[in-house]
Structure 1
Amino acid sequence: MNELITQAIAQWQLMHSLELVATLLALAYVILALKHSLWCWPAALLSTLLFTHVMWQSALLSDALLQLYYAGMALYGWWRWQQLRQATPGAKGSVFEWRWQWHLVLIVITALAGWALGMFMASYTQADFAYLDAQTTAFSVMATFLVARKLVSNWLYWVVIDAVSIYVYAQKHLYFLTGLFMLYTVIAIAGYFIWRSHYQQQPAVKLSV
């Protein structure tokens, strides 16, 4: 009995240690992204690999799949930001925006994808918060792509996604993640106003969709 308790405590400590390290790396990613630093993407890659394990063990299956997507997007983001630097020499911090009509279409498509994923998770897996988790997953997929494209509006999506995630992670007793997403929400609000101000002041630049 004592051995089982010792193993349970050890597993709990390992899980929360991984969660803490992944949380610190994820926070570094957001702060570096806010500053237009390429090094945000290596921090994101390491964080997602750790979070994949944490989410899987917590039965947040949609989130676990999302972390694998984040890992791929970290590689894409590194490549894309390098491209943007080469396309606009000396304009390291250039940011972009799409017309509102494109965002409306994107929201509808993403919401439908989230509903379909939620229905699958609710019907065929033991995932907790199947529909809510699936919607945050779908919108996180979309918003991460907008970060890689350096669109100002990515921060607005993250404000909503992070606020919903606070509830989910608190219910699952993932305390470091809950605290992280509280910080994320504040940073996303600040990020939007900082990038929007920069967008309004920068010289006109063209962006391929």
Structure 2
Amino acid sequence: MSHIFDWFFAEYQNVPPYLVALEITAVVFGLLSAWFSKQDNILIYPTGILSTAIFVYLLAVYGLLGDLVINAYYFSMSIYGWYFWTRKVDSEHYTPITKTTIKEKQISLGIFIGTLFFIFIIYKVFDKWNSWTAYVDTLTTAIFFVAMWLLARKKIENWLFLLAGNIISFPLYFYKGLMFTSFQFLLFIVISIVGYKAWKKNLNKPETSLLK
């Protein structure tokens, strides 16, 4: 067992302790945010904002540009989602969980394609096309951008995009040496599946409370 721990923490041997502590903190808040999302609980946003704010700093330190852009987008989309989720459709009910409309599917496609071009330009400007991971980062960024927009709009399909992005990100972050973050994505895979099933049960149901 000690060999497993030695191997797991080997990636952190030359990393300042405060960065390791920040990564663990960001992972904890990220998992809390994912769980609150599964619960359809508004606390998804304050916990998510804390997690993404820390990750933006960490990823800037590590020079992981694509991942930094993702988390900066998460931060801004969390603020938008916080507003959208708390918006009432009448005097008693909040915005319910629904499926995407044809227009929202078109917007999702536009976000996906637009993100691919956006990340391509950023990587080109900063000369980041130096590893195969850059291409995977571009794909996951586009997937997560769509997922976060759908989540902010309370669309059940967000879980399908999150599941795809999490499956790709789990081994990717493992390869990058961010072991705790990689483990986070492994748990995100499970939460994505459970979350989809939970949201499906509450599809189109009137919401009277955001704390569940």
Q: Do these two structures clear the TM 0.5 threshold for a shared fold by scoring above it? A: yes
Partners of 1:88 and 1:167 in 2: CA distance: 44
Q: Please give the secondary structure, in 2, of the residue aligned with 1:152.
A: coil
Question: In 1, Cα distance between the equivalents of 2:113 and 2:143?
Answer: 10
CA-based RMSD of the aligned residues comes to 2.4
Deviation at 1:31, TM superposition (A): 0.7
Residues 48 and 67 in structure 1, CA contact (< 8 A), matched pair in contact too:
yes
2:96 matched residue in structure 1: 94
The 5 Å alignment of 1:96-111 reads 96-99=98-101, 102-103=104-105, 105-106=106-107, 108-111=109-112
Q: Which deviates further from its counterpart, 114-123 or 29-38?
A: 114-123
How far residue 163 of structure 1 moved from its aligned partner, in angstroms, is 0.6
**Normalized against structure 1, the TM-score is what?**
0.81
The 8 Å contact of residues 58 and 172 in structure 1, kept in 2 or not, is answered as no
Rounded Cα–Cα distance in structure 1 between residues aligned with 2:143 and 2:203: 23
Displacement after TM superposition at 1:131 (Å): 1.8
Whose relative contact order is higher, 1 or 2, with alpha carbons under 8 Å and at least 6 apart? 2
CA distance in 2, matches of 1:159, 1:9: 31
Distance of 1:26 and 1:120 partners within structure 2:
28
Normalised TM-score (structure 2)? 0.80
Residue correspondence of structure 1 range 133-144 to structure 2 within 5 A? 133-144=137-148
Corresponding position of 1:207: none
Letter in structure 2 aligned against 1:98 = T
Residue aligning to 1:76: 80
User: What's the CA shift for 1:118?
Assistant: 4.5
The 8 Å contact of residues 25 and 47 in structure 1, kept in 2 or not, is answered as yes
Number of residue equivalences: 192
Distance 1:102-1:145 versus aligned 2 partners, 3 A rule:
closer
CA spacing shift, 1:93–1:194, aligned 2, 3 Å:
farther
Is the 2:173–2:182 Cα contact (8 Å) retained in structure 1?
yes
1:197 pairs with 172, 196, 201, which one?
201
Shift of 1:61: 0.2
5 Å matches for 1:100-139? Answer: 102-103=104-105, 105-106=106-107, 108-127=109-128, 128=131, 129-139=133-143
The residue number in structure 2 matching 1:38 is 42
Contact 1:60 1:133 in 2 (8 A): no
Distance 1:10 1:149, change over 3 A: same
Structure 2 unaligned regions, length at least 5? 1-11, 207-212
Q: Where do 5+ consecutive residues of structure 1 fail to align?
A: 1-7, 204-209
Equivalent position amino acid for 1:94 in 2: P
Post-superposition CA distance 1:17-65 (Å, at most 9, x none): 1110000001111111111211111111111110001112222201112
Q: Which has the higher helix share?
A: 1
Is the CA contact 1:23–1:177 (under 8 Å) kept in the aligned structure 2? Answer: yes
Structure 1 residues 48-96: Cα deviation after superposition (integer angstroms, max 9, x where no partner):
110001112222201112211211112111111110xx21555558311
Percent identical among aligned pairs is 24
Paired residue secondary structure (2:73) = helix
Q: How does 1:174-193 map to 2 (within 5 A)?
A: 174-193=178-197
Structure 2 match to 1:146? 150
User: Is the 2:39–2:198 contact (alpha carbons within 8 Å) kept by the matching residues of 1?
Assistant: no
